[in-house]
């Protein structure tokens, strides 16, 4: 019984991770009129003005930094095009 429960838990976690990853999109620049429906990965140079522009133009909130070492970092800042210091997650919050 324990083995069956462990297998079920593993499959549920695997399915949840797959669903989450399918809802994360990379954004290289800020397109006009883009409607945010998912979690977006953005490159950020570290400048406060760029963070403010991302939040304002996309109407999103920064959720946190990408700590997944399996994902390649985004090379350019989504706002200014400069070298990205961090890859961040943003999304609409309700």
Quote helix, strand, coil % in the chain, to nearest 5. 35, 25, 40
Residues 25-47 have pLDDT tens digits of 888 777 766 677 889 999 999 99
Q: Which residues of the chain have pLDDT under 70?
A: 32-34, 69
Rounded to whole angstroms, the Cα distance separating 15 from 46 reads 34
Cα dihedral sign, 67-71-74-78: negative
pTM: 0.76
How many C-beta neighbours within 10 Å does residue 13 have?
A: 10
* CATH node for 24-91: 3.30.110.30
Query: How many CA atoms does the CB half-sphere of 64 hold within 13 Å?
Result: 3
């Amino acid at each position: 019984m324990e083995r069956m429960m462990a297998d079920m838990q593993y499959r549920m976690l695997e399915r949840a991770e797959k669903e989450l990853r399918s809802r994360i999109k990379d954004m290289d620049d800020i397109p006009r009129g883009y409607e945010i429906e998912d979690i977006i990965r953005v490159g950020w140079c570290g400048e406060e003005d760029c963070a403010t522009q991302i939040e304002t133009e996309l109407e999103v909130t920064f959720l946190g930094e990408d700590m997944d070492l399996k994902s390649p970092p985004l090379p350019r800042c989504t706002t200014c095009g400069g070298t990205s210091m961090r890859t961040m997650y943003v999304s609409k919050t309700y």
